[in-house]
Structure 1
Amino acid sequence: MGSMFLSNEELGKKDDDHRPTKIPTIRPPQWSASTGAPPRKMLKRLVIALALGVFVYLFISNLPSDVPIRDRRRPVYRPEGIPDTPPRAPGPMPKLKPDRKPSRPQRPVPPPPAPPRPAPAVPAMPYNGPLIFPKLLSSLQAIYSTGGSQTSNKNVLFAAASLKSAALLLPLACQMGGELRNYVHFALFGGSEVDMGELRAVNGIEEPCHIIFHDARPDSATTSTTERLRLSTVRALHHISNYMHPQALVVDASWTEEDYFLSAVRKQAPVSKIPLIELPEKAHSRLGWITKLDSSSLAAWDKISIDILIHAAPGASGNIIQLLKSLSAADFSAASTPHLTIELPHDVDRATAEFLRTFQWPPGRSQLPSHPRQFTLRHRIARSRLTEQENSVRFLESFWPTSPKYSHVLVLSPQAQLSPQFFHYLKYAVLQYLYSGAALVQDWDSRLLGISLDLPSTHLDGSKPFTPPLGKGTISPPDATVGDSTPFLWQAPNSNAALFTGQKWIELHALVSNLIDFQHRTQSLPPFFTTKLVSKRYPSWLEHALKLSRARGYWMLYPSEAMAKNLATMHNELSRAPEEYERELEKGTPEDSNELPLFGGTLFETLPGGGLLPPFDEMPLLLWNGAATGLRYLDDAAADYANEFRHAVGNCQELAPEDLVPKTSVKDLFCTEDD
């Protein structure tokens, strides 16, 4: 056995090295005869070796042969429902050690055959081939009766690529179609596969909606690349423009719409000369009034601009801070944020200066190059108080319309506070009364001096309270309720919170310029020129605006009392006299007024007739002094006043009929040697 575990000399030597060293004694070798029985130690080693050999044999013979080699480079993920190991051929199950000995041997049960695996779906390759619109031509050829071949018609187009955006636009399109003022169209772009009939059914679009549908999707829309869908939007809109000439294109500009669609529309609409109306979130409740406008009004949607002009009075910090806060809280989703100009006096109180240092306009936007700062702040140098003439000049020089037809200005007194929805009413009224088909036919734009957001509490001269009329040709009694009042037309202008049209601003500018020139050339001014009809509680330029209104027969639109509560209110407890009249009125007290609190109702809740704005011929008409009148008498009174003005101020003796025609330069009112 020693030769079995120590098979060579080196192993024997290594074993000797571990033994304790003894000094050997020299003894003679001894030999003994063998007894025939192996030593006990040798038998023990033999048994151990035999047992070890049997164990190794059993272990090797029972090794499993079907275990796959594990790949340790990365984890292996298998889809749900697929077994961890591939199916095996039926054979003996792996032997498991039972808890107890079975009564009889059990045959191994083969596993059930694995179900056949479905072939993996091969995704379709993105398609970017030539564009074909298989369903668009037939619907466009069918609308010849809507006047689509003419550049001016009654066609309005709603368009969407996202089905969610389509669900938002279709109710608005249905409401507009039900008004029967426009031919309302809806075009579906993009890569959806929904059927147009299913789209109508899901959104509850029935025949009374009066909507004409167009499928503007290209072939292979569901497999098209994003770039192909964007290009298809541009091409389809080009074809639609040629056949339909829509007066306005309405899209959903919220997050639900596809980005490629909005970018394509914003690129192609100006090329095709289609006014683009981008609706914000919750447009149904915020901009539902657009369904009441006709195609002519909607065509001017993105053309008009409105500036805001504020002249701050000295020492009136509480007023202007309150006004600017209400402006910041207003909803300007109906258009781009107006440009704001604030005229400051020389002496600015500390509170106002601190507020303006951190004031941001447009509100809630970062100062990025794409968001320009539409804010102008002017600070006067002269310390002395302005005169009437200086104040009028400074005020009228603060704004000039870039386009007489589309550029307008909103004049605000520091005492005003505006409701969040005032701008919606303002744009709604401007579009309806200046650009609608009815306004163009009846020449309303030539009569309208401006639109007031405020309902005055007194007459212009401040002599007595003003009571708004109940209906056409009547004046409300003192006990009339709020709901009885109605919008009305008044020849008297307003300086508290009123929009002046660009064309009328140019005429007012020319009138003041000629009047100042008349003052410089005249030694003794006639009583016609010096007599004041407007209270000194109002700025001096309002007197000139009244002269223009009386000479031309202009009127200003005023809201009903119920509407005014949702538009603006005046804080007369903080009121101050205009700077040019401050010394004369510094010992007086602020005017008493019926201040109207602002309510939180929606715009439609305050408008009569389900949101419709009444036409001018259905409104009461008042002369500048508050007396009810008719259009013919108003024209006669304007002609008489213009003749009196020409002789007293204009130095006109005899004028030919063509010289009496009103001119924007007001040269028909002034006759000088140069003429």
Structure 2
Amino acid sequence: MGMMFFSHEELGKKDDDHKPAKPHARWSAATGTPKNRMLKRLAIAFALGVLVYLFINNLPTDVPVRDRRRPVYHPESDPSKPRAPGPMPKLSTGRKPPTPNLPPARPVQPDTAPLHAVYNGPIVFPELRSSLQAIYGTDGGSPVNKNVLYAAASLKSAALLLPMACQMAQELRNYVHFALVGGSDIDLQELRAVNGIDRSCQVIFHDARPDFAGNSATERLRQSIARALYHINVYMHPQAVIVDASDLEEDYFLVGIRKQAAASGISLIELPEQAHSKLAWVTKLDSSSLAAWDIITIDILINAQPAASGSLIHLLKSLSAADFSAGLVPHLTIELPHDVDHATTEFLKTFQWPPAHSSRPSYPRQLTLRHRIPQGRLTEEESSVRFIESFWPSSPKYSHVLVLSPQADVSSHFFHYLKYSALHYLYSKAAITQGWDSRLLSISLDLPSTHLDGSKPFRSPSGDGAAPLLWQAPNSNAALFTGQKWVELHALVSRMLEFQRTITRAPLPPFFADKLVSKRYPSWLEHALKLSRARGYWTLYPGEAAARGLVTVHSELYRAPEEYEGEAAREMPGSAELPASGRTLLESLPGDGGLLSFDEMPLLLWDGRATDLSNLDGAAAAYADEFRRAVGGCQALAPEDLVVKASMEDLFCVRDE
């Protein structure tokens, strides 16, 4: 500006120096010229000064200052793409870990963003750093720990989740965290106060909202949720994230959390409406169980019988009315006989599965109908093979099958009980440590009224019959078989049939010919009993009161298995009708709804005699030896030949010719 001003003055002087003087010019005229030029220069300088002042005072102030000491997340980047975090400190040293590598926490200036404009700048979390620094004692640096996270963007959803979070923390199985995300402007202390959360609630709170949350664009909020979960996962490694998936929660929140949970490999538990009552049992599970929430799958397998449309239709209607809000609706397979009666055919034309009321149907078509080709009555072997071939676990550790008799009716919350029990007894920390899954053949919904051979009534070993029990005898009325044990059952039946084909000219040894299971039950149950006796497996049975609230078996609808038609008793004892719906799962279980450990339950041998684990193992070893001798060729076995194998090779040997 100064140089511009002075460059004009020099140009004027040079022009005057080269012009010849006018002899007749008056002094007064000559003296007036410098004065005019000075006024002109002052006017130009004043104008330039005004322009500079206006430029400086109108610089934009709504652009935040970039702090380049730490990375700042830009909305256009994708938070779902994994990034390699810095090495986490070893918590066992007792030293405080270094500051998390989060965007810098800087004070929010009220005048740095327009109050009514939509802000879409870089995402910064002003409060998240301090709360993540405070949880280093929860072993958050380890991928496997006891951390469980509740998260919400909607204040209404937060009001539903907070009591559940406090209840879970009170169980003392997990470190429970709550993260507030999204665009609300409520203070965390105010959130606690309005929801009645006092110091007795041992939940760790995290403010994971971005700067300028109230003015942020919806897309910025969605990305901030994904980015917040990314940071939380790096420094907390929650085993599960629990959210409200009802209409109360913000759509952008669910979109963001689903995407990032999948990218981070975190179990996402989406609670439906009325979850505070229907799924209150979730608060009693530990972090290890919850980590398997959306990994396990349950199939349903029904073996229909000829001319028994009434019982099958009864069962399918009860399944349609059940509550499957605890997870994906199971795949349903119905094995139909060769002759399907008209009533069954007409009902299946309009039967919808998953049920129309299901909030999470998983897939539009989850029904498989298998119609048998051969006519005539099946043999025992044919019936067993056909039934066991109807299911195969895609992942033996996580895929399980619920076997239902057509005479059964299920309650509205039967699926909740199965998932609750499966998560606790197969995937909890106690189950993993103590090897519960290695012993558990199945989880029964039904408590039979007679022994397997039908010779006498069954009496629960507990006085009032309220306590659950472990029984070596399997069940075919309503039981969830684990995928691993189904694989073993498949191998056992396969090898049994192969063995029988090798001795067709001679009668079967009594060990194979004698039947311990009544012909009231299907033939495959005999094989399941052999597996339980040879391996020392057991089935978990509910107490009497709990069983009445889970399933009923209708004696008036009973039909003998097709392979035993005309041989079995016409009438099969059954339980009373299911109680009226309305009770929650925890209300139907004894005590406060907590599940007992296996060492707290009575243990019974297959014939109903009380035993302990040592005697059960001894009986299993003796039975396995008898099994090998009956098969033949097992007299001289090396120790490595006796190692238990899922393929059953340790039980079947080459026969001596």
TM-score by shorter chain over 0.5: yes
Residues 587-630 of structure 1 show CA distances to partners (whole Å, capped at 9, x for unaligned) of x5313445354343321122223110011100000000000111
Paired amino acid for 1:548: L
2:646 is aligned with 1:668:
no
**C-alpha separation in 2, matches of 1:575 and 1:369:** 31
Residue 34 (structure 2) aligns with = none
Q: By how many angstroms is 1:658 displaced?
A: 2.1
| Contact preservation (8 Å) 2:145, 2:287 | yes
Change (3 A) 1:550 1:620: same
Residue 183 (structure 2) aligns with = 191
2:483 is aligned with 1:502:
yes
2:558 is aligned with 1:575:
yes
Which of 454, 457, 463 is the aligned partner of 2:446?
454
Q: By how many angstroms is 1:193 displaced?
A: 0.6
2:521 is aligned with 1:538:
yes
Q: Say which SS state the counterpart of residue 159 (structure 1) adopts.
A: strand
Residues 295-325 of structure 1 show CA distances to partners (whole Å, capped at 9, x for unaligned) of 0000000000000000001000100000000
2:211 is aligned with 1:219:
yes
2:598 is aligned with 1:629:
no
Residues 352-367 of structure 1 mapped to structure 2, 5 A cutoff:
352-364=344-356
Q: By how many angstroms is 1:673 displaced?
A: 7.0
Residue 326 (structure 2) aligns with = 334
Which of 627, 630, 633 is the aligned partner of 1:651?
633
**C-alpha separation in 1, matches of 2:211 and 2:557:** 67
TM-score by length of 2: 0.80
| Contact preservation (8 Å) 1:173, 1:211 | yes
Which of 593, 599, 603 is the aligned partner of 1:617?
599
2:508 is aligned with 1:561:
no
Q: By how many angstroms is 1:372 displaced?
A: 2.1
Residues 476-487 of structure 1 mapped to structure 2, 5 A cutoff:
476=463, 481=464, 484-487=465-468
Residues 33-44 of structure 1 mapped to structure 2, 5 A cutoff:
none
Change (3 A) 1:594 1:298: closer
| Contact preservation (8 Å) 1:230, 1:261 | yes
Residue 92 (structure 1) aligns with = none
Residues 70-149 of structure 1 mapped to structure 2, 5 A cutoff:
124-149=116-141
TM-score by length of 1: 0.78
| Contact preservation (8 Å) 1:367, 1:373 | no
Which of 486, 491, 505 is the aligned partner of 2:472?
491
**C-alpha separation in 2, matches of 1:286 and 1:369:** 18
Which of 268, 271, 280 is the aligned partner of 2:263?
271
Aligned residues: 540
Which of 454, 457, 463 is the aligned partner of 1:465?
457
Paired amino acid for 1:198: E
Change (3 A) 1:187 1:366: closer
**C-alpha separation in 2, matches of 1:368 and 1:570:** 28
Change (3 A) 1:375 1:185: same
Q: By how many angstroms is 1:272 displaced?
A: 0.9
Change (3 A) 1:657 1:596: farther
Paired amino acid for 2:511: F
Q: By how many angstroms is 1:565 displaced?
A: 1.1
| Contact preservation (8 Å) 1:292, 1:612 | yes
Residues 127-526 of structure 1 mapped to structure 2, 5 A cutoff:
127-364=119-356, 371-470=363-462, 476=463, 481=464, 484-522=465-503, 523-524=505-506, 525-526=508-509
Paired amino acid for 1:217: R
Change (3 A) 1:298 1:370: closer
Change (3 A) 1:599 1:625: farther
Residue 77 (structure 1) aligns with = none
| Contact preservation (8 Å) 1:331, 1:421 | yes
Change (3 A) 1:486 1:308: same
Q: By how many angstroms is 1:650 displaced?
A: 5.1
Root mean square deviation of aligned Cα: 1.7
**C-alpha separation in 2, matches of 1:595 and 1:624:** 25
**C-alpha separation in 1, matches of 2:633 and 2:378:** 29
Change (3 A) 1:370 1:404: closer
Paired amino acid for 1:545: A
Q: By how many angstroms is 1:455 displaced?
A: 0.9
Q: Say which SS state the counterpart of residue 592 (structure 2) adopts.
A: helix
Deviation beyond 4 Å, 4+ runs, structure 1: 365-370
Q: By how many angstroms is 1:532 displaced?
A: 0.3
**C-alpha separation in 2, matches of 1:365 and 1:386:** 38
> Percentage identity across aligned positions?
70
Residue 572 (structure 2) aligns with = 591
**C-alpha separation in 2, matches of 1:155 and 1:561:** 35
Paired amino acid for 2:491: A
Q: Which structure 2 residue ranges, 5 or more long, are not aligned?
A: 1-113
Give the stretch that moved more between structures: 309-318 or 123-132.
Answer: 123-132
Residue 79 (structure 1) aligns with = none
Q: Say which SS state the counterpart of residue 394 (structure 1) adopts.
A: helix
Q: Say which SS state the counterpart of residue 567 (structure 2) adopts.
A: helix
| Contact preservation (8 Å) 2:554, 2:574 | no
**C-alpha separation in 2, matches of 1:314 and 1:218:** 64
| Contact preservation (8 Å) 1:646, 1:671 | yes
Q: By how many angstroms is 1:432 displaced?
A: 0.5
Paired amino acid for 2:554: H
Residue 533 (structure 2) aligns with = 550
| Contact preservation (8 Å) 1:529, 1:649 | no
**C-alpha separation in 1, matches of 2:343 and 2:363:** 27
Paired amino acid for 1:557: L
Residues 116-140 of structure 1 show CA distances to partners (whole Å, capped at 9, x for unaligned) of xxxxxx9621100111101001110
Larger Rg: 1
Residues 29-70 of structure 1 show CA distances to partners (whole Å, capped at 9, x for unaligned) of xxxxxxxxxxxxxxxxxxxxxxxxxxxxxxxxxxxxxxxxxx
Q: By how many angstroms is 1:370 displaced?
A: 7.6
Q: Say which SS state the counterpart of residue 236 (structure 1) adopts.
A: helix
| Contact preservation (8 Å) 1:451, 1:557 | yes
| Contact preservation (8 Å) 2:330, 2:366 | yes
| Contact preservation (8 Å) 2:213, 2:221 | yes
Paired amino acid for 1:443: G
Q: By how many angstroms is 1:671 displaced?
A: 1.2
Q: Say which SS state the counterpart of residue 370 (structure 2) adopts.
A: strand
Change (3 A) 1:367 1:224: closer
2:587 is aligned with 1:605:
yes
| Contact preservation (8 Å) 2:325, 2:358 | no
Change (3 A) 1:517 1:274: same
**C-alpha separation in 1, matches of 2:473 and 2:457:** 14
Residue 21 (structure 1) aligns with = none
Q: By how many angstroms is 1:285 displaced?
A: 0.4
**C-alpha separation in 1, matches of 2:577 and 2:352:** 28
2:521 is aligned with 1:529:
no
**C-alpha separation in 1, matches of 2:477 and 2:361:** 34
Q: By how many angstroms is 1:436 displaced?
A: 0.3
